[in-house]
Structure 1
């Protein structure tokens, strides 16, 4: 079984299988979910990409909300400010 897991980790490391395929095959071999990321190591690490879209379902937003952090007066604006300013 160790040989098969090493082979899967090597495939994932070279980008020959997707993360979903790796997790599915490792689960079929009986590997616990807590151990899978350790096997793959940095095989799935991705570089940061600028841009993107935030879709947030927040209840309680108002038409007067803005992106100015000085005007964050409710939980909705605090939450959105945290999402918007995240450095991922």
Structure 2
């Protein structure tokens, strides 16, 4: 139970809820990602090129948004509003 204590304080309920939701979103994304390509190619009938392009654009967009948010957070210093 010591890992629940942070610098002598009790665990904040909002922080715990946020971490739980973030963890569950990560699990959901990890379970969804491998099956989405099969769904797109088999059920939707998309060509493999378009499925690959979808994953590529999705990854690049995620990187660009992360970099933009990091730069904005560092320059303005207001991280709470970004979250």
TM-score (norm 2): 0.28
Greater RCO between the two (CA within 8 Å, min separation 6)?
Answer: 1
Larger relative helix fraction: 2
* TM-score normalized with structure 1 length: 0.27
